[in-house]
Chain A
Amino acid sequence: MNYGRMRFVTGFLAIPVALYVIYVIAPYAQAFYIAFTDWRGVNANPRLVGLENFQRLFDDNVFWKAVGHNLILLILMPLLTIGIALFFAFLLNAGGRGGTGGVWGSKFYRVVFFFPQVLAVAVVAVLFQQVFRPDRSGMLNAPLIALGFEPVGFLSDTDIALWAILGVLVWQAVGFYVVLFSAGISSIPRDMFEAAAIDGAGGVQLFLRVTLPLLWDTIQVGWVYLGIAALDVFAIVWVMTAEHGGPDHSTTVMAAEIYRNAFQYFKFGYASAMGVVLFFFTIGFAALALRLSRRERIEF
């Protein structure tokens, strides 16, 4: 019996663990090693060069630009997405008459808002590339030109392009968090809203005093998800912008620089060093987010 049990456990774990070790664990482990070598596409025998890649990275303006853009997205994307999504989730669940039910048509809104989430980021990137066209064939510029304004270079103006990217990221993400927060709000006992309403709380107070504190755990999860997504932005930048992160590196992000250095310049060692930096950003953010947002848990 025991023998058969052990054989069963080994048999069931063998293939998943093997696949996982070969394709996931081994590459991650190797990446940390490669980051300390001068491996390029041309030399067959990479040498260990210590911290040289990291020193070069320190003086690499383009990489620091990318880090800066990631940090802007890291702060603004969660803030905007969670703010808008909370507002809508509250309206859809507690904004109706009496402050307890959802508004009329709330199910319809939830279905529509969520749809961008199921589209591939690459597809959304091509779609908005057309929406942002710089002349009157662009969806957004056509009405501006018709009203007599100068067309906006959403993707060609170095001061604007990053905001265009932020806009698209928020556009795609909001629906997911509306649904997530809606699920959280609907699990809050209804009598809490009723009790607060009877005590004279208006819509704003209901939101600030009841919904927000009781939803804190879900918001925290959402914040960590969005922050990691902001650090991992790639497809939207690579596909939508000119020169894959341009114009003039005004929209580039860490993931795009890693891909560019590894698969266009074949600087494998250097790209891996960037990957190591990104890894520590991700771990650091997750630890920080969980630490800062720790609060007393409210049981209900």
Chain B
Amino acid sequence: MADAVIPRSRAYARAERRRRLGPLSVLTHVTLVVWTILVAVPIVWTFLASVKSEDEIFGDAWSLPASLRFDNWARAWEQAHVGQYMINSIVVVAGGTFGTMLFGSMAAYVLARYRFRGNRAVYLLFVSGLAFPVYLALTPLFFVVQNMGAIPVIGPFIGLNTHGGLILVYIAYSLPFTVFFLAAFFRTLPGAVAEAAFVDGASHTRVFFRIMLPMAKPGIISVTIFNVLGQWNQYQLPLVLLTSDKEKWVLTQGIADISTAAGYDADWSALFAALSMAILPMLIVYTLFQSQIQKGLTAGALK
């Protein structure tokens, strides 16, 4: 019907026909399905291996488990300490992200909306941190944290092999991106509401926490997601700062250690169970909040 009504050029009709008949659309779906398989299969395979017996794991990789051995999961949680590692990760990321967002938004707000001598210099100091490779700082950072441990009273909470020390380092290394992103966000907010509040006698601090911070909520959510994932997945910094004390390790360290240090008498089925335990929470959280997470992670690149 529509074809008969709308007059079209011959070239357009030709292009349309080519598109409909051409192999492109079939090929399109094939490539998309192939990549979907490439992404999904290693993960599904890991979940399957996590309920296999030791013999089945060393047998044919594509065989299905004869029975579902969930005791692998129990062993990974208890004996391989995955439960402990996960709790440690939660503690460090909760503290790290909360501190990053509090201090990052405070600094970003002041730098974005107050004029004072040195504003530009402080802003550039923060943003320059985006360009430095962290590996350059590792050695001195190790000794900075070690020296922190020697401070009286608070030292034992922020030195090497402490979660407090790692949290402070996470905050400091998350500040460049957080300040960069939130300062840009605070600059775009209208000032009328804040001015009205100042006229009513509100203090600067009150205006920030009660008015500006709630107005910046979309930006805050994006950066929070970015920081939670970044800190949860961090491996290099805990490797340097939580060396000796296995009890304090975070999840990434624990998983990497099970595979490298275990050797020949390794508990392979527990390794797969531990791996699945590390993937499963991310899968659940990602399924629930995928559009928010995609926005949060790509936010920096789109600015």
6 A–B contacts from the bound complex (CB under 8 Å):
A27-B140, A92-B32, A98-B16, A126-B271, A130-B272, A275-B135
A38 to B39, CA, bound (A): 47
A268 within 8 A of B: yes
- Within the complex, the shortest CB–CB distance from B217 to chain A, in Å, comes to 19
Contact residues, B177-212 vs A (CB, 8 A): 179, 203-205, 208
The B-contacting residues of A in range 8-40, CB under 8 angstroms, are: 8-9, 11-13, 15-17, 19-20, 22-28, 30-31, 34
Task: Please report the C-alpha to C-alpha distance between residue A256 and residue B124 in the assembled complex, in whole angstroms.
Answer: 29
B residues contacting A by CB (< 8 A) are 9, 11-12, 14-16, 18-20, 24-25, 28-29, 31-32, 35-36, 38-43, 45-46, 49, 57-62, 103-104, 106-107, 109-111, 114, 116, 122, 125-126, 129, 131-142, 144, 168-169, 171-173, 175-176, 179, 203-205, 208, 229, 232-236, 239-240, 251-253, 255-256, 258-260, 271-272, 275, 278-279, 282-283, 285-286, 290, 293-294, 297-298, 301-302
Known: A12-B107, A141-B61. A23 touches B139 (CB 8 A): no
From B9, B134, B256, A239 is in contact (CB under 8 Å) with B256
- Known contacts A121-B235, A222-B301; A91 and B31 CB within 8 A of each other: yes
Among A12, A175, A183, A282, max chain B CB count under 10 A is at A12
User: Which of A127, A142, A232 is in CB contact (< 8 Å) with B275?
Assistant: A127
The chain B residue with its CB closest to the CB of A274 is B135
Known interface pairs A120-B252, A126-B259, A171-B39; A180-B301 also in contact (CB < 8 Å): yes
What's the interface size class on A, roughly? 35 or more
Q: Do B302 and A275 touch (CB < 8 A)?
A: no
Q: Which chain A residues border B133 with CB–CB below 8 Å?
A: 228, 231-232, 255, 275, 278-279, 282
Q: How far is the CA of A128 from the CA of B256 in the complex (A)?
A: 12
Residues facing B in A117-148 (CB within 8 A) are: 117-123, 125-131, 133, 136-139, 141-143, 146
The reply to whether A19 and B39 contact each other, CB–CB distance below 8 Å, is no
A52 to B106, CA, bound (A): 44
Q: How far is the CA of A287 from the CA of B60 in the complex (A)?
A: 50
Q: How far is the CA of A123 from the CA of B70 in the complex (A)?
A: 21
Q: Are A34 and B139 in contact (CB under 8 A)?
A: yes
Residues of B within 8 A of A87 (CB): 31
A137 CA to B271 CA, complexed, in Å: 14
Contact of B45 among A116, A121, A131, A221 (CB under 8 A): A131
Q: Whole-angstrom distance between the alpha carbons of A246 and B117 in the complex?
A: 52
Report the minimal beta-carbon distance from B2 to chain A, rounded to whole angstroms. Answer: 12
A295 interface residue, CB < 8 Å from B?
no
Output the least CB separation between B43 and chain A (Å).
Answer: 7
A139-B42 contact in complex given A202-B19, A275-B133, C-beta closer than 8 Å:
yes
A22, A202, A232: the one within 8 Å of B135 (CB): A232
Known interface pairs A24-B137, A118-B229; A198-B255 also in contact (CB < 8 Å): no
Q: Is the CB of B41 within 8 A of A139?
A: yes
A262 touches B139 (CB 8 A): yes
Across-interface contacts of A231 in B (CB, < 8 A): 133
In Å, the complex CA distance between A218 and B302 comes to: 7
**Which A246-271 residues sit within 8 Å CB-CB of chain B?**
254-255, 258-259, 262-263, 268, 271
Docked pose: A31 CA to B12 CA in angstroms: 63
A residues at B contact (CB < 8 Å): 4-6, 8-9, 11-13, 15-17, 19-20, 22-28, 30-31, 34, 84, 87-88, 91-92, 95, 97-99, 103, 105, 109-123, 125-131, 133, 136-139, 141-143, 146, 171, 174-176, 179-180, 183-184, 197-203, 218, 221-222, 225, 228, 231-232, 234-235, 238-239, 254-255, 258-259, 262-263, 268, 271-272, 275-276, 278-279, 282-283, 286
Q: Which residues of B contact A130 (CB under 8 A)?
A: 46, 49, 271-272, 275
Contact of A136 among B40, B61, B168, B240 (CB under 8 A): B61
Query: Are B39 and A115 in touch, CB under 8 angstroms?
Result: yes
Please give the distance in Å from B191's CB to the nearest CB on chain A.
15
- Is the beta-carbon distance between A137 and B107 smaller than 8 angstroms? no
Residues of A within 8 A of B57 (CB): 137
Task: Check A4–B140 contact: CB distance below 8 A.
Answer: no
Q: B46: nearest residue on chain A (CB-CB)?
A: A127
Which residues of chain B are near A143, meaning CB under 8 Å?
62
Q: Please, which residues of chain B bring their CB within 8 A of the CB of A201?
A: 15
Task: Return chain B residues, CB-CB under 8 Å to A282.
Answer: 131-133
> Which 4 pairs, one residue from A and one from B, show the smallest C-beta to C-beta distance?
A23-B172, A275-B136, A120-B233, A27-B140
CB nearest to B13 among chain A residues: A200
Q: Are B135 and A127 in contact (CB under 8 A)?
A: no
Residues of A within 8 A of B279 (CB): 119, 123, 127
Find chain B residues with CB under 8 A from A111 CB. Answer: 290
Beta-carbon contact of A197 and B259 below 8 Å: no
- Provide the bound-state CA to CA distance between A171 and B175, in Å: 29
Q: Smallest Cβ distance from A277 to chain B, in angstroms? A: 9
Does the CB pair A234–B256 fall under 8 Å? no
Residues in A with CB closer than 8 Å to B179 are 16
Q: Tell me the bound Cα distance from A275 to B204 in angstroms.
A: 42
- What is the chain A residue whose CB lies nearest that of B225? A118
**Whole-angstrom distance from the CB of B274 to the nearest CB of chain A?**
9
Partner of B169, one of A23, A115, A136, A174: A23
- For the complex, give the distance between the alpha carbons of A184 and B294 in Å: 14
Cβ–Cβ < 8 Å partners of A25 in chain B: 125, 129
Q: Quick one: closest A residue to B37, CB to CB?
A: A112
Q: Are A137 and B38 interface neighbours, CB within 8 A?
A: no
Is there an interface contact between B106 and A12, defined as CB atoms closer than 8 Å? yes
